[in-house]
């Protein structure tokens, strides 16, 4: 078949519905899809060369980068196979001098590390470190292990300044958190002022697992903040002006030392998910009832003795997690939560629950009261128990019918036998 390579190079991928009409018209014969597929990739190999051959040119490419960009860092790492002495590509790292100098000279010290999987016969992964106003790449084609360029960041940027002043954010996917920890970034003992300077530009702020002791009043500048994650820190209190974060939808403060929540919490009228498990809370403010959009409340592993009566005004609540507290009874207003699907009160001191709970909470499908001084007989004699049990069974029957794997713990709901 005599056909110009350039024509095949312009063809759409064989998976597309568009046919090869133009080519067929040009050569005057019918071409089967498989033939077209093979012809295209043969032509591409002639035009671009094979990917395997291109690996052999990486040393020349690295040499050219060093020559044309003096002062830049270009590193290639290879391994060897016991059966073959020829080097095998491991990973590469590139940091251009101008980007490095620009970052150190005046860029905001916020670094984002992200990754994407590479397609093609050799697969791999591309890691990229992104700064405010500048970018450099970290290539890590290792398939199972993300190694390569990330640990080289501190030497390139000046380990001291980088380690103490830069805030690093990563994607939760791909295991990048562990990779960033290997960089040697020290935890932030204070809230980074550079973030506060961004003001309305910040939508998500995640400072998990640092050594933050408190949150500054200036956080109110982040008027468009929608997601605030400060888990696993040393935070003991929340600022009084927290209510000014009017756009906030998700707030996670798990694993801190918070003893009280300010009344201003009720001003976060758009809040949908509040998780503050593993703290030192003794009670919740009455103003929590103003959170009409709240769907999830997680206050497990605290020292809470009772839930406020106002919780019944959180009409959107679908899930309450209050395991491992000292709660003795529930307010009757809980019966107002018509959208409540799950109520978890394991390992408390609950002796009784509102008698109309099962009757009025018609969406309730799961209630866990293990480790409480309440009997199964008491629970089964409550009005609405049969309807509740029917909803619970339908929920799990639906999961089983849909081939959803559930644990035995998931089926073991209710109270201790």
DSSP state for residue 186 in the 8-state scheme: P
| Residue 257 to residue 276: CA distance in whole angstroms | 10
**Most confident option among 3-17, 76-90, 121-135:** 76-90
**Band (148; pLDDT cuts 50, 70, 90):** very low
Lowest mean pLDDT among 85-99, 135-149, 241-255, 360-374: 135-149
Q: For strand 125-131 and strand 73-81, is the pairing parallel, antiparallel, or unpaired?
A: unpaired
- Domains of the chain from N-terminus onward: 5-49 (no CATH), 57-181 (no CATH), 187-261 (3.80.10.10), 281-417 (3.80.10.10)
The answer, as to whether pTM is greater than 0.75, is no
- DSSP secondary structure letters along 352-405: B--TTHHHH-TT--EEE-TTSS--HHHHHTSTTHHHHHHHHHHHHHHHHHTT--
The answer to whether the Cα torsion of 394, 395, 396, 399 is positive or negative is positive
Helices (H), 81-204: 97-106, 153-157, 159-165, 176-181, 193-198
Within 13 A of 74's CA, how many CA atoms are on the CB side?
A: 16
pLDDT at residue 40, rounded to an integer: 74
Mean pLDDT calculated for residue range 24-44: 70
Q: Is 175 helix (H, G, I), strand (E, B) or coil?
A: helix
The answer to whether the Cα torsion of 103, 108, 113, 118 is positive or negative is negative
pLDDT at residue 182, rounded to an integer: 33
Q: Cα 371 from chain centroid?
A: 32
Q: Mean pLDDT score of the chain, rounded to an integer?
A: 76
| Residue 180 to residue 58: CA distance in whole angstroms | 26
Mean pLDDT calculated for residue range 314-340: 96
Query: What digits encode the pLDDT tens for the residues 176-205?
Result: 444 443 333 345 567 777 777 777 788 888
DSSP state for residue 269 in the 8-state scheme: T
Q: Is 21 helix (H, G, I), strand (E, B) or coil?
A: helix
- DSSP secondary structure letters along 119-144: PSTT--EEEEEEETTEEEEEEE--SS
Burial of 277 (0-12, 13-18, 19+ CB in 10 A): buried
Q: Cα 297 from chain centroid?
A: 19
The answer to whether the Cα torsion of 111, 116, 120, 122 is positive or negative is positive
* Percent of the chain residues past pLDDT 90, beyond the cut: 38
**297 near 281, Cβ under 8 Å?**
no
Structure tokens at 335: 């019966």
Mean pLDDT calculated for residue range 302-330: 96
**Most confident option among 25-34, 172-181, 364-373:** 364-373
| Residue 302 to residue 321: CA distance in whole angstroms | 11
DSSP state for residue 302 in the 8-state scheme: S
Query: What digits encode the pLDDT tens for the residues 45-63?
Result: 777 777 777 777 888 888 8
Within 13 A of 19's CA, how many CA atoms are on the CB side?
A: 7
* Percent of the chain residues past pLDDT 70, beyond the cut: 66
User: Which of 167, 220, 170, 168 lies closest to 191, judged by CA?
Assistant: 167
DSSP state for residue 12 in the 8-state scheme: P
| Residue 414 to residue 417: CA distance in whole angstroms | 9
The answer to whether the Cα torsion of 370, 371, 372, 376 is positive or negative is positive
Lowest mean pLDDT among 184-193, 364-373, 375-384, 398-407: 398-407
């Amino acid at each position: 078949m005599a056909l110009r390579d350039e024509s095949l190079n312009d063809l759409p991928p064989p998976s597309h519905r568009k046919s090869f009409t133009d080519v067929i018209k040009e050569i005057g014969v019918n071409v089967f899809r498989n033939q077209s597929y093979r012809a295209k990739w043969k032509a591409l190999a002639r035009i671009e060369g094979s990917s395997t051959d291109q690996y052999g040119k990486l040393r020349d490419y690295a040499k050219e980068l060093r020559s044309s960009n003096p002062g830049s860092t270009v590193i290639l790492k290879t391994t060897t196979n016991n059966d073959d002495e020829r080097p095998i590509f491991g990973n590469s790292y590139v940091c251009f001098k101008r980007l490095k100098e620009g970052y150190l000279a005046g860029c905001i010290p916020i670094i984002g590390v992200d990754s994407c999987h590479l397609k093609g016969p050799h697969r791999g992964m591309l890691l990229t470190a992104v700064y405010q106003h500048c970018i450099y790449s970290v290539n890590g084609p290792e398939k199972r292990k993300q190694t390569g360029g990330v640990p080289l960041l501190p030497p390139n940027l000046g380990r001291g300044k980088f380690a103490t002043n830069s805030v690093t954010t990563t994607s939760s996917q791909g295991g990048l958190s562990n990779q960033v920890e290997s960089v040697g970034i020290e935890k932030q003992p204070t809230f980074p002022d550079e973030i506060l300077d961004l003001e309305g530009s910040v939508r998500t702020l995640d400072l998990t697992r640092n050594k933050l002791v408190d949150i500054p009043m200036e956080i109110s500048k982040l008027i468009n903040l929608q997601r605030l994650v400060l888990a696993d820190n040393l935070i003991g209190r929340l600022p009084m002006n927290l209510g000014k974060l009017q756009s906030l939808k998700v707030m996670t403060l798990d694993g801190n030392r918070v003893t009280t929540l300010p009344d201003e919490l009720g001003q976060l009228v758009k809040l949908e998910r509040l998780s503050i498990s593993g703290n030192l809370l003794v009670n919740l403010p009455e103003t929590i009832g103003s959170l009409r959009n709240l769907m999830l409340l997680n206050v497990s592993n605290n020292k809470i003795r009772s839930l406020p009566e106002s919780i019944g005004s959180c009409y959107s609540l679908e899930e309450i997690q209050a395991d491992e507290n000292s709660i003795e009874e529930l307010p009757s207003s809980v019966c107002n939560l018509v959208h409540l699907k799950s109520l978890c009160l394991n390992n408390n001191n609950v002796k009784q629950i509102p008698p109309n709970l099962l009757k009025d909470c018609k969406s309730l499908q799961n209630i866990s009261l293990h480790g409480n001084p309440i009997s199964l007989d008491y629970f089964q004699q409550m009005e609405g128990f049969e309807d509740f049990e029917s909803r619970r069974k339908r929920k799990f029957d639906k999961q089983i019918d849909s081939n959803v794997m559930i644990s035995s713990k998931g089926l073991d709901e209710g109270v201790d036998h």
